[in-house]
Structure 1
Amino acid sequence: MKRVLVTGGAGFIGSALLPELVASNYDVYVIDNLSFGKRELLNISDDHFFLSDILDRKNLNSIIKNIQPHWVIHLAAIHFIPYCNQNPFEASNINIQGTMNILDALRSLDCLEKVLFASTAAVYPNTNHPIAETVSSSPLDIYGLSKLAGEHLLNEFYLMTKIPSIICRFFNAFGARETNPHLIPEIHRQIMNGKRSIQLGNLDPKRDFIHTADMSQALRLLLEQFSTDIDTFNIGSGQEYSVQEVVEAFELAINEKIQIEVDPARIRKVERQHLCADISKLKEYIGWKPRVDLKSGIKFLIDNPNIALA
């Protein structure tokens, strides 16, 4: 049985990914400092969960040496772009130094077979067209810069170790138990609090939303099928949605009208107008396509706010 280590596994994406891995009969371990994640979201035994910070090199080395993982999925990071911009040292320290610590701890393992690094679509430049992996990187913010640095660190790791390495550029994930106030969880919070006139920030941007169930399946299939070299894959739905379309999906789910008020305090000064994934490479490589569209995903979220869609 393959031992799979997930850093940040108690967070939003990790807690959706773990059931996918466990259901496929993998022996799953988690490292998380629970700054955002929650231990109760994980259906794994205590001897498979390690409360640790990825900045704690000594403890991290000891844990990884003890687990002896075959595959490693590195999700642990600070993700929320406004927070990263307000706390650039903290964000870059965790996202860059933390990644260095993980990779350094993996170098001495004889059992290691594959590494998957969670990067982001924020490494891409502004564009009005679906973005393929071949587009040159040009981050607009500290989060994108820190993740691009992580990609370079993984590339160096691959060159030195020849361990097959996968870079996954995540687009906008949505689903149950999100820990940051992105668009969908923020609308969901206000709706569940009884509001039908909701306050939002930027209304013009369009985004590629992928459900965590689809993302989890794609990550598992990539790990299972990827076997050599280093490569990069977009993880998105290939569909772009406006803020109004997201609100309309909530209206359909609750069968009520929702009014939008623009809150100046929520407006981001630097914002992309479009962000959509070209997922043709991913679909061809793993024989996969998204199953959960925006409307059905939001309907499930409204009806089951604490349950990850399988």
Structure 2
Amino acid sequence: MKLLITGIAGFIGSSIALEAVRNNEISSIMGIDDFSTGNTQNIDKIKTRIKFHKTSILELEKLRERFKDIDYVLHQAAIPSVPRSIKDPIGTSRVNVIGTLNVLIAARDAGVKRVILASSSSVYGDTPNLPKHENMQPCPLSPYAVSKLTNEIHARQFYELYGLETICLRYFNVFGPNQDPKSEYAAVIPKFINRILNNEKPTICGDGTQSRDFTYAKDAVNANLLAIKAPKTACGKAFNIAGGKQITINDLAKTLNKLMDKKIEPVYDKPRAGDIKHSYANISLAKEFLDYMPKYGFEEGLKETIDYFKKG
């Protein structure tokens, strides 16, 4: 089995690669990244075990060349931030939508067997009904969310029109090692861990009662590997990938303090534009079609992530 991972130097892409090099069923791994959001340090440990090309998903002809003889493409490359998309909707849409179309076209033309695409729980928007399931009407609140929903539609069309097998994974707030805590657009867990480790108060946007369904990175990785093997009945569909537990941001701060033996109270700021209030996933379809179930508890994932950040 020959894999190609787009965005391999990013958080989830590198997490997939670290697991894939240990999988005996995978004979070769190629990765592409343009380092616009990825970090070369994320793949330093495995650079002798993968074939890497500095390539942007906006470069269609280069993608066509890279995809030759590839069996499966795990498409993780994206501009991944809701706030960043609000600040730069054109830049986000160019990479996320046109880039993904390029990936699908190159995969179709190269005869790739299947493309697994990273989508997002943000496509649901702030729909009040919980848990969120795949049959709900999407209501994206940001250009980022719109780009991910657009990608899902394109993926389904490529399966229906051209026979290219596609599966979309709607990630719910993935966290874990390799996640950048210092970016202006850093996710909440690495940002909180970094601040508490440095005895600094984490900042909660809003009153902290907003909730998320956090997914440990190893579970997201497993979902990708399961999607490769999923029956054809899973193709053309999108699936929720989540931890299956609703956690408020206030509880997240308390849990991190407990696990790190700290007592650092958060400070509160105004809510961020484009953020949803509550997120919690129904993962029954992913279980039915992909055989996906989270293997890691929330605190277990947090402990491993904290240990990673403590090591620097």
- What TM-score, normalized by structure 2, do the two folds share? 0.90
Q: Does 1:223 align with 2:242?
A: no
Shift of 1:47: 6.5
Q: What is the total number of aligned residue pairs between the two structures?
A: 300
Pair 1:18–1:241, CA change in 2 (3 A): same
Whether 2:212 is the aligned partner of 1:207: answer yes
Distance 1:24 1:34, change over 3 A: same
Are residues 1:254 and 2:255 paired?
no
Q: Which amino acid aligns with 2:262?
A: E
1:54 paired with 2:57, answer yes
Kindly tell me: are residues 167 and 242 of structure 1, through their superposed partners in 2, closer, same or farther at Cα, counting changes over 3 Å?
Answer: same
2:115 corresponds in structure 1 to 115
Give the whole-Å Cα distance in 2 for the aligned partners of 1:158 and 1:306: 44
* Structure-2 residue corresponding to 1:234: 240
- The alpha-carbon deviation at position 258 of structure 1 amounts to 2.0
Percent identity for Structure 1 against Structure 2: 30
The aligned counterpart of 2:284 is: 280
Residue 13 of structure 1 is matched in structure 2 by 12
Tell me the distance in 1 between the aligned counterparts of 2:223 and 2:156. Answer: 21
* Superposition deviation, residue 129 in structure 1: 0.7
Contact 2:82 2:274 in 1 (8 A): no
Matched, 1:158 2:164: no
Question: How many Å separate the matches in 2 of 1:268 and 1:292?
Answer: 29
Q: Distance in 2 between matches of 1:156 and 1:23?
A: 33
**2:249 paired with 1:243:** yes
Aligned counterpart for 2:308 among listed residues 289, 295, 304: 304
CA positional deviation for 1:123? 0.9
Report the RMSD for the aligned CA atoms in angstroms.
1.8
Q: Is the 8 A contact 1:20 1:220 kept in 2?
A: no
The answer to whether residue 66 in structure 2 is matched with residue 63 in structure 1 is: yes
- d(CA) in 1 for partners of 2:95, 2:254: 37
The whole-number CA distance in structure 2 between the counterparts of 1:103 and 1:288 is 24
Taking structure 1 as the reference length, the TM-score comes to 0.91
Aligned-pair CA distance for 1:60: 2.2
CA distance in 1, matches of 2:279, 2:295: 20
Q: In 1, Cα distance between the equivalents of 2:22 and 2:90?
A: 38
Verify: 1:188 aligned to 2:193, yes or no.
yes
Output the amino acid matched with 2:209: D
CA contact (8 A) 1:12 1:37 kept: yes
Q: Which runs of 5+ in 1 are unaligned?
A: none
3-state SS of the aligned residue for 1:69? coil
Q: Distance in 1 between matches of 2:71 and 2:291?
A: 24
> Match for 2:120: what amino acid?
T
Query: In the aligned structure 2, how far is the partner of 1:302 from the partner of 1:37?
Result: 21
**How many Å apart are 1:117 and its aligned residue?**
1.0
Aligned to 1:45: 48
The SS at the match of 2:238 is strand
For structure 2, the residue ranges without an aligned partner over 5 or more in a row are: none
8 A contact 1:128–1:275 mirrored in 2? no
User: What one-letter code is carried by the residue in structure 2 that aligns with 1:99?
Assistant: T
SS in 2 for 1:246: helix
Contact 1:127 1:275 (C-alpha < 8 Å) held by counterparts: no
Please state how far the C-alpha of 1:114 moved relative to its aligned partner: 1.0
